[in-house]
Amino acid sequence: MKQLWYFSAPWCGPCKMFGPTMDRVASQGIQVNKINIDYEADAVTKYGVRSVPTTILVENGKELRLLLEILLYFQHRILNSEI
């Protein structure tokens, strides 16, 4: 099962811009776990998050960190109805 862990903070400008993309990804059937780093210190430590926004795809217990640029590419495709 695929899960996307999205680490963000309410004070983070790029996170505010990226949030709607995560909502769109969730609407495509991928489970998105939104983590507010200000309140979820254990998850931040477990996944070694050092900056936000950070996205981690977990599939079959394996982690794949996704670069923001990759997700922005898909955001562009989704918004232009290419997916």
Tens-place pLDDT, residues 34-51: 999 999 999 999 888 888
Q: Residue 25's domain spans which residues?
A: 2-79
* CATH number of residue 16's parent domain: 3.40.30.10
Q: What is the mean pLDDT of residues 10-26?
A: 89
The contacts of residue 51 (CB under 8 Å, 6+ apart) are none
Q: What is the mean pLDDT of residues 13-40?
A: 90
The contacts of residue 69 (CB under 8 Å, 6+ apart) are none
Residue 12 has pLDDT above 90, yes or no: yes
Residues identified as active-site = 12, 15
The answer to whether the predicted template modeling score (pTM) of the entire model surpasses 0.85 is no
Higher-confidence residue of 23 and 1: namely 23
The separation between the first and the last C-alpha atoms of the chain, rounded to the nearest angstrom, is 21
Quote the number of domains for the chain.
1
Q: What is the mean pLDDT of residues 55-80?
A: 73
